[in-house]
Copies of this chain bind each other. A is one copy, B any other.
Amino acid sequence: MKARIYVTLKNGVLDPQGAAVKHALGTLGFQGVEGVRQGKLLDIELAATDRAAAEAELAAMCDKLLANTVIEDYRVEVLSE
Contacts and interface: CB of A to CB of B under 8 A. Distances in A.
A46 B65 CA distance: 32
Contacts of A40: 38-41
Interface magnitude class on chain A: 20 to 34
A66 B8 contact: no
B41 A8 contact: yes
A32 B35 CA distance: 38
- Taking the full assembly, how many copies of this chain does it contain? 2
A41 B39 contact: yes
Given A34-B45, A37-B42, A65 B8 contact: no
B42 A42 contact: no
B25 A47 contact: no
